[in-house]
Amino acid sequence: MSHGADKGAVPVTTGTAPATPAPRAESDPAGVRAMIFLRDRGIFVLWVLLLVGFSIWAQPYFASVNNAILIANAAALTAIFAAGVAVGIICGALDLSIPGTAAVAACTCGYLLTHGAPVWVGLLAGLATGVLVGVINGVISLRGFNPIVVTIGTLSITTAAATLIAGGYTIPGLTDLTFMGTRRYWGIPAPVWIGAAVFIIGTIFLTRTRDGVRMMAVGGNAEAVRRSGIHSDRYRVLGFVVSGVCAALGGLVSTALVTEASPAASPGIIFTALTAVALAGVSLAGGRGSLPRVAVGALILATISNGLTIKGIDPYWGTGVTGVLLLASLAMEKWVSTSVSRRLVATAQASVHTGTR
């Protein structure tokens, strides 16, 4: 065949033309990994930015070891209450009776100590009160009642019970509890050690034990867990019990700090705890959350309050700034979750289309 014929010839295709390589679906859609990092680690970045900002703005007093200890101590109590709220929300058991549980646990312990009981008996009785309130909340909620309404009711009951136990007055002179309040160990206040223990134990429980993983699964989809043969009701009650124990422990630590037990149930407890939980991105729908992020949420609240106090700014500005951060974190959580879902769905659809060509 001549070369001239080759130049003018039209290429002849065979029965099996070479297929054009299908575009491979991206294993990491653009921005998805960054968005997930922002959702899961953004609170740590925010805290670091706050620390850097206050270190520059409130120098030289803010960036010091003593002030860091003060921030940790201020955050510890909020963190203990927030741990209980977070665990409750994660397993679908939002508990609003925490202030009342803390008050009745403190007054129970204070009453026993002032009547000659050993310290360990008073502490165990206070923690047992938290267990009892948690069981009551859980059992009633399982009867089909809204947990929010149930825990508001038990909040009123526990507040009244605390007032009856204390006779309507605070119980002073509880100096036997200073070992878990004002005392320091290796330079670090006792509440910081207690808070750290709560979060370490809680994190290991939720992420490394069968019951903890199942409890989170119940919060995500209780019906699916029940159909898989797991007793979901038991884990729902367990969530209320954990919340009640954390509330009781927080009430005991509060009592140890001021050496007196107050029957008043402060609504600020639940507000600050919920704020720390919301800042941490814990899903209010349940099934997802991280206790380390909750601890950082409590530290953020304490950092803002501490920095503004050093600068001599009125406390209500701190409340306002916290509210803005809370709304911003909720908006970011919604935006990130929606964006990630859309991009993952788009990627899955692209994979299906390319796979059927």
pLDDT tens digits along 109-159: 999 999 889 999 999 999 999 999 999 999 998 888 888 899 999 999 999
Determine the Cα–Cα distance for residues 349 and 54; give it in Å rounded to an integer. 47
Determine the Cα–Cα distance for residues 97 and 151; give it in Å rounded to an integer. 5
| DSSP per-residue string spanning 182-251 | T-EETTEEHHHHHHHHHHHHHHHHHHHSHHHHHHHHHHH-HHHHHHTT--HHHHHHHHHHHHHHHHHHHH
Determine the Cα–Cα distance for residues 9 and 12; give it in Å rounded to an integer. 9
pLDDT tens digits along 12-28: 444 444 444 444 444 55
* List of long-range contacts for 342-350, beta carbons under 8 Å, 24+ apart: 343/29, 343/30, 343/31, 343/32, 343/35, 344/29, 344/32, 346/29, 347/25, 347/26, 347/29, 347/32, 350/23, 350/25
User: How confident is the model at residue 235, as a pLDDT?
Assistant: 82
Write out the E strands in 130-194.
184-185, 188-189
**pLDDT reading at 185 higher than 80:** yes
Determine the Cα–Cα distance for residues 161 and 158; give it in Å rounded to an integer. 5
Residue 328, both tokens: 């911003």
Domains of the chain listed by start with CATH number: 74-312 (1.10.3470.10)
**3-state secondary structure at position 302:** helix
| DSSP per-residue string spanning 31-55 | THHHHHHHHHHHHHHHHHHHHHHHH
Say which residue, 215 or 254, is predicted with more confidence: 254
Q: Report which of 269, 49, 236 is spatially closest to residue 158, judged by C-alpha positions.
A: 269
Residue 343, both tokens: 């991009």
Kindly state the average pLDDT of the residues 42-55. 86
**pLDDT reading at 9 higher than 70:** no
**pLDDT reading at 101 higher than 80:** yes
pLDDT tens digits along 57-97: 888 888 889 999 999 999 999 999 999 998 888 887 788 89
Helix, strand, coil percent content, the chain, rounded in steps of 5: 75, 0, 25
**3-state secondary structure at position 79:** helix
User: How confident is the model at residue 277, as a pLDDT?
Assistant: 87
User: How confident is the model at residue 329, as a pLDDT?
Assistant: 73
User: How confident is the model at residue 352, as a pLDDT?
Assistant: 63
Residues 6+ apart with CB under 8 A from 171: 107, 110, 111, 114, 260, 261
User: How confident is the model at residue 285, as a pLDDT?
Assistant: 62
